[in-house]
Amino acid sequence: MTIMAKRRSTYDIFVGNLPPHADQHFVGKFFTCFGEINGIYVKEGKIGDGSKIAFVQFLCEPDAERAVEERNGILLDGNPLIVRRSSKRDGPREQGYQGGKFEKKGKKQMNDKKVHVFSGTLTAGSGSFNSLRKTSTDSIPYLEHYGTVGTSEEELIVVHVEDPTIFFSQKVESNQHLVEIAKQLSQVCPKAKSVQGIPQMFKIYGAQFSEDQQWYRCEIIKNNMPDQCAVRYIDFGNREVVSNQKIVDLPDELASIPPLAFKCRFQGLRGTMMDTGNKNFEEGKKFLSQVTDGHVVHAHLRPPPGEKIVCCWVINGSVNGLNIGQELVKKGYAVQVERDGTIISSKNVEDSSLSGRPVLGKKTDQRYCISGRGGKRYASGHRLSLETPPSTGINTLTSTQTQISSTLSDLSHSSSLDDDLCTNYGTGYSYHRSGNQFRGGGDGGYVLDEISRLKVEKEKLLRDLALEKGRFQAVKNELDKMVKDDMSMKISKIQEKTKQVKFLRHQLTYDKDKPDIIELCITTVLKLQEGPVLDHNQSIQEAVSKAHKNFNSCQQNIKFCKNKDELQSLIELRDSAKQQLYVKIEQFLNLFSERPVIEKARLLEMLLSCLNQYYHPFLGMTGTNMLLLPLSDLSSFYQNMKSQKQEKVQEVRRQTNDAMKQLSQALQVFSQSVLLEDPHVDALSAPEDHVCYLEYLLEERAQETCTVNFLSKCLADYCNALNMEIGVCDMEDSSESALMAVVTQKLQNELSNEQEKIQGVAELKVQYSSLFQELSPWLHNKPDITEVMAIRKKIKGLKSKLRHKIADKNDVEENDESDKEALENINSELAVLRGELHEAFDEESKLLKKLAELQESHFPELDFQYSELGISNYVEYLGLLKQGWELDHFQAEKSLVSQSFVTYRAVYRESEVIIKEYFIDNAQQKKEFLRRIVQYHHAACDNLVPLHAVFFSKVGQT
């Protein structure tokens, strides 16, 4: 009887644009992280550029979809990777691949054409596979270096959950390595430069995690996003998108350390995301996180975790005797599957292979460490941060040290836990070990495991305590240094206080030689309000505005005039209005240029600046209800308040000045004491001089001590005097703050109003200055059209010569015995005539443009007086419509003929141009054509061919 193996259904993806060196190992490195793979096929591409393509067979469709989504478009050697679901037309046509499965071929066939084929079952980046065979002597099967397939019992810490059946974990004993890596990263990464260019796929870098801003090791898993990459933190398993500015290169000694986190997957289970929806998927993740949070997971792993292992199968994973796999299936967060992906009926859950070790003993309240980003968190509530504490955090360090000592005190009793547990469980408890499991006759549970775990935790806490002691000592050293720098702190404090006192003395001044800013503002505003200058400016401004309106009205009357008899009288009225406007503008400009107005504008600007700089605390206050009071009343209130404070303020300022003088004298004495050479001791010539010198040395030694003490006392006295003056003169939090707020805000409003008036006049000056310059040339002059008429006469003569020369050419060409030399001479003369004509066309266009501008601004009567010039058409069609142009004015050669238009190539002013000839039947089409031409010209951009001119021939085409 022959038993046929059940053929697996696979979900294939096509991978294109691979580099020439790609093989199964290279391709598997990119796709094994997404799910279980049945096979990988690599072959040469069809383009002929050396690139390769591959087909990857996934056993689950969601895994294939996720691989396409995350890997399509990533950059390899500067080229984007093409990843999509495979279709029949994509399938490889070599004999090694048929219908989504690979078949073994004979040696002869494989030698005929080299192909790279990988067969077997490869788990999501795992390295566990059913069978692995080479189909070519040149191909190296991916994950062949994983070694013997077996199991090992491990104690794990779950650090990241990907789905209800897949998670990332660390070994319990790897915690110390994590601390050392974090310490090195915190020293290396902040000094390293950001990565330049596009980061390399799967290279190990350092990245700053967004949640705690700490540095961790990561690998690049997607690099085709602008200025950012998707990374996976290799010591924890979680992923995020990071800006390239926060990715740095790592030294080899850090990058070469194997990842501390490895991927785990429950054997025989599959998350229910693809069966029951996203909500159940998220709840399953949450359940797995809650079950494993703060606890050690006991599991059998196949293969055992190691440097080359990407993923491990989890067999009999449990926490406190609770089988996690059974709970996931019971709660509906996972389903059991066969090796081919077939779902097992839920009624067989209890009899399946999920049953793990016997659940014995009581569930104890454990406090196992779980490593995570930013530090180590304990189920008991303790958290030891890996971040460096600030230099002033002695209390925080002491508290942390007390917590660790308390925890160690609790754990110190666990060394005798064997005796305690035996006592607690009584004589009815007995246990023995069989393989890797315990069997108890009472309620003992995993007693020895409890003891070993507690000892491990104790060792960790001792290491953390040593680390915290080192930090505590560093902070203590920093504080000692700060005590030594006490003098510098005093000087710095005095500098701050002195700056504040200077600020307050500018706010409130009693010195006759120094003006009070508020009083100066009040005086200036009152003078401006009473003075006649701005009022006079206002009358002149109104006169200019009235004259300008009269001038514009006259211009409008001329523009819409249709009677030649009335036109001349309207022009005379306009010229008179122009003269009046010119005179009024001149008076306005002369008045504004006077020095007092300019000086007042500068004074207002400086007063507002000083008010904002020295009284900004009061300007921002609210609730001031006296702003409606006149400024004269507020000025009286301010003077009254200032008089009441005068005696007390002057007294504290006198004390401050005395303390400052005393400090200055102490500093002079101190400067003498630090001189290395002694100016008072001359050369010693007699024994009695030696006695005097020794007496001087003793006195100097005593004075040194007195000098230091006196300087310290003077510093303290000066600091106290500054504080006293600040307390008396600072009105921000005093009862005078409301009055100061009202006065300063009122002054700010008044000064701003006056400044706006002057600024308005300044803007009018700019406007009227421009108008004054425009009116000046045309007060007594009229536009001259003689140049336009002369150029048109020249154009008419050139056109006549051109017609005769074209006729001569036609005669020569019609003659059967035509003279080639004569024809060449005629063509040369035609080219010269056309060049002169084109030059005249441009000159005419420039003169018409000037006349159009004059008509728009000064002389609207031009079009009515000289209708033959076509100024209105020039303005309406933006100067594009040309009068009198013909196709014969160009040396045109047909290049394209279609039903709607004919295209010619020609030369205009030594530049090659394109002429399109359209046929227009009636006036309505002509009008619509011109409208569209204007729209095209307005939409001009770099991507559109520029339009130079439009002209109509006598037969109707354009």
Residues 23, 25, 29: CA angle, nearest 5 degrees: 120
CB 37 within 8 A of CB 59: yes
226 or 533: whose pLDDT is higher? 226
pLDDT value of position 168: 92
What percent of the residues of the chain are helix, what percent strand, and what percent coil, each to the nearest 5?
A: 50, 15, 30
Token match 């200058």: residue?
533
The answer on pLDDT for 360 being more than 70 is no
Kindly report, residue by residue over 746-778, the tens digit of the pLDDT: 898 988 888 888 777 778 888 888 888 888 888
* CA atoms of 470 and 466, how far apart (whole Å): 6
User: How does residue 144 score in pLDDT terms, banded at 50, 70 and 90?
Assistant: very low
User: How does residue 701 score in pLDDT terms, banded at 50, 70 and 90?
Assistant: low
**510 phi/psi in degrees, rounded to 5:** -115, 0
User: How does residue 243 score in pLDDT terms, banded at 50, 70 and 90?
Assistant: very high
**751 phi/psi in degrees, rounded to 5:** -65, -40
SS3 of residue 584 by DSSP: helix
Residues whose CB falls within 8 Å of the CB of residue 116, separated by 6 or more in sequence, listed in order: 23, 24, 41, 42, 43, 136, 138, 139
* CA atoms of 367 and 346, how far apart (whole Å): 35
The answer on pLDDT for 247 being more than 90 is yes
**DSSP state, residue 921:** -
- Which of the residue ranges 285-299, 343-357, 595-609, 667-681 would you say has the lowest mean pLDDT? 343-357
908 or 541: whose pLDDT is higher? 908
The answer on pLDDT for 414 being more than 60 is no
Kindly report, residue by residue over 99-110, the tens digit of the pLDDT: 444 443 333 333
Average pLDDT over residues 263-287: 76
Kindly report, residue by residue over 873-886, the tens digit of the pLDDT: 888 888 899 988 99
Average pLDDT, the chain: 75
Cα 820 to the chain's mean position, in Å? 72
DSSP H/E element including 519: helix 517-530
* CA atoms of 650 and 452, how far apart (whole Å): 77
* CA atoms of 53 and 47, how far apart (whole Å): 10
**236 phi/psi in degrees, rounded to 5:** -135, -25
pLDDT value of position 345: 56
Residue 686: is it exposed, middle or buried by C-beta count within 10 angstroms (0-12/13-18/19+)?
exposed
CA proximity to 204, closest of 243, 249, 171: 249
**What percent of the chain clears pLDDT 90, i.e. is strictly above it?**
17
pLDDT value of position 834: 92
Angle at which helix 737-775 crosses helix 564-592, to 10 degrees, equals 140
The answer on pLDDT for 420 being more than 60 is no
Residues whose CB falls within 8 Å of the CB of residue 657, separated by 6 or more in sequence, listed in order: none
Kindly report, residue by residue over 713-749, the tens digit of the pLDDT: 888 899 999 999 998 988 888 888 888 888 888 898 9
**DSSP state, residue 7:** P
For the chain, the maximum distance between any two Cα atoms, rounded to a whole number of angstroms, is 141
**740 phi/psi in degrees, rounded to 5:** -60, -40
pTM above 0.75? no
SS3 of residue 824 by DSSP: helix
SS3 of residue 102 by DSSP: strand
CB 533 within 8 A of CB 539: no
- As a whole number of Å, the end-to-end CA separation of the chain is 92
Residues whose CB falls within 8 Å of the CB of residue 782, separated by 6 or more in sequence, listed in order: 859
Average pLDDT over residues 532-548: 72
pLDDT value of position 106: 38
CB 461 within 8 A of CB 414: no
Cα 145 to the chain's mean position, in Å? 43
Strands 239-243 vs 37-44: parallel, antiparallel or unpaired: unpaired
pLDDT value of position 373: 39
- Which of the residue ranges 92-96, 404-408, 633-637 would you say has the lowest mean pLDDT? 92-96
**What percent of the chain clears pLDDT 70, i.e. is strictly above it?**
72
CB 80 within 8 A of CB 88: no
Residue 590: is it exposed, middle or buried by C-beta count within 10 angstroms (0-12/13-18/19+)?
exposed
pLDDT value of position 150: 53
Q: Tokens representing 27?
A: 């391709």
**DSSP state, residue 939:** T
Strands 311-319 vs 262-266: parallel, antiparallel or unpaired: parallel
DSSP H/E element including 915: strand 911-918
